[in-house]
């Protein structure tokens, strides 16, 4: 039989496994939306080509500025965004520094990255307008395929490039007043919980096995054989189902003596019943054995009569 410590250890392990599986699907479950943000005070921030869609599609861009400063978020082809910004100082979002932080390059770093031979700058669009002067506002320009603006907050919801649009895309965030702001990108993602069902099955199974083993060890698992206290369904007296101690057994033997067996008296051999069939056949009337038995019985009667009555003298 499995020891009690082993049963308790398996039960505790089952509770731990079930709890961890539930936690993996609730507390430790990753968010359905991947969010990454960065803080800046630059008037203009652009994204490198591919950053807008690097986390998936569609993309939501949210800009929050202090003091309800006006902000604009726009998405267009990378050549259009580069042409609009021109030589104005701006910062560049080149990717993600971590799962929750965007990598932001200063104007000098952004220019050095743009001049790398492996990633040459895109050729400007001849149809694009000239660069804007200082504190220019890109709101309302026909260069953008999507745009959002507001006072203190602007959100471009669930943008995704249409199949009819070709080219590389970049985002432009304009904050003409230079107020501190936060830029956040959000992408939906599919999150699975592969350990929930196996963990629950394994954990609950271990708990059930431990409970069954403990109940069987204590003797409380009867499967309905004993019945209830009020209704004895078995019909067996309690004294027959309850084991006795040695002292109780000896006391019961002393109080219940074995009854004596008294056999019925046999007055004569003739009254005795034969023990078996061969005796019946041997002493049947007319046989020699029967005659000898009769003579022997008569002699026994005479002897008994003489012994019983001493005044009668026996015939010589």
User: Is the model's pLDDT at 36 over the cut of 50?
Assistant: yes
Between the two ends of the chain, the Cα-to-Cα distance in Å is 89
Would you state the pLDDT for residue 153? 94
Question: Average pLDDT over the chain, rounded to whole?
Answer: 75
Contacts of 127-134 with CB under 8 Å at 24 or more apart are: 128/79, 128/80, 128/83, 128/84, 129/83, 129/84, 130/86, 131/83, 131/84, 131/85, 131/86, 131/87, 131/88, 132/84, 132/86, 132/88, 134/88
Lowest mean pLDDT among 68-77, 192-201, 237-246: 237-246
pLDDT tens-digit series, residues 84-118: 998 888 999 999 999 899 999 987 776 665 554 43
Top-confidence residue, 142 or 301:
142
User: Is the model's pLDDT at 41 over the cut of 80?
Assistant: yes
Residue among 143, 171, 141 at smallest CA distance from 155: 171
Give the mean model confidence (pLDDT) for residues 225-245.
54
Lowest mean pLDDT among 163-172, 177-186, 247-256: 247-256
CA distance 249 to 90: 103
pLDDT band, residue 39 (cuts 50/70/90): very high
Would you state the pLDDT for residue 237? 55
User: Is the model's pLDDT at 273 over the cut of 70?
Assistant: no
Would you state the pLDDT for residue 167? 74
Give the mean model confidence (pLDDT) for residues 275-303.
55
Contact 6, 66 (CB under 8 A): no
User: Is the model's pLDDT at 58 over the cut of 80?
Assistant: yes
Give the mean model confidence (pLDDT) for residues 18-25.
90
Would you state the pLDDT for residue 131? 40
CA distance 281 to 222: 60
pLDDT band, residue 261 (cuts 50/70/90): low
User: Is the model's pLDDT at 2 over the cut of 70?
Assistant: no
Would you state the pLDDT for residue 30? 81
User: Is the model's pLDDT at 31 over the cut of 50?
Assistant: yes
Q: What's the pTM value of the predicted model, to 2 decimals?
A: 0.53
Would you state the pLDDT for residue 218? 79
CA distance 146 to 81: 12
Would you state the pLDDT for residue 306? 45
Element housing 162 (H / E): none
Would you state the pLDDT for residue 245? 77
């Amino acid at each position: 039989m499995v020891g009690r410590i082993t049963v308790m250890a398996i039960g505790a392990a089952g509770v731990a496994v079930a709890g961890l599986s539930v936690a993996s699907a609730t507390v430790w479950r990753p968010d359905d939306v991947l969010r990454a943000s960065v803080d800046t005070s630059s008037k203009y921030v652009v994204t490198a080509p591919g950053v807008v869609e690097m986390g998936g599609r569609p993309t939501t861009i949210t800009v929050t500025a202090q003091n309800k400063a006006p902000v604009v978020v726009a998405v267009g082809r990378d050549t259009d965004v580069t042409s609009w910004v021109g030589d104005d100082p701006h910062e560049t979002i080149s990717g993600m520094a971590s799962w929750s932080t965007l990598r932001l390059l200063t104007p000098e770093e952004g220019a050095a990255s743009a001049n790398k031979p492996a990633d040459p700058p895109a050729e400007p669009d001849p149809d694009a307008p000239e660069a804007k002067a200082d504190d220019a506002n890109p709101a309302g320009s026909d260069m953008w395929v999507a745009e959002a603006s507001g006072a203190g907050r602007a959100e471009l919801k669930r943008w995704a490039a249409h199949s009819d649009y070709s080219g590389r895309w970049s985002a432009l965030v304009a904050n003409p007043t230079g107020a501190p702001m936060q830029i956040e990108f959000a992408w939906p993602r599919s999150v699975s919980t592969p350990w929930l069902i196996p963990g629950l099955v394994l954990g609950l199974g271990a708990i059930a096995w431990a409970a069954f083993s403990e109940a069987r060890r204590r003797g409380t698992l009867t499967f309905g054989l004993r019945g209830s206290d009020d209704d004895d369904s078995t019909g067996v007296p309690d004294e027959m189902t309850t084991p006795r101690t040695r002292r109780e057994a000896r006391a019961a033997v002393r109080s219940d003596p074995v009854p004596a067996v008294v056999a019925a008296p046999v007055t004569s051999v003739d009254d005795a019943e034969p023990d078996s069939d061969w005796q019946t056949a041997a002493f049947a009337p007319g046989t020699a054995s029967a005659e000898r038995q009769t003579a022997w019985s008569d002699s026994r009667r005479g002897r008994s009569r003489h012994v019983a009555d001493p005044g009668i003298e026996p015939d010589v």
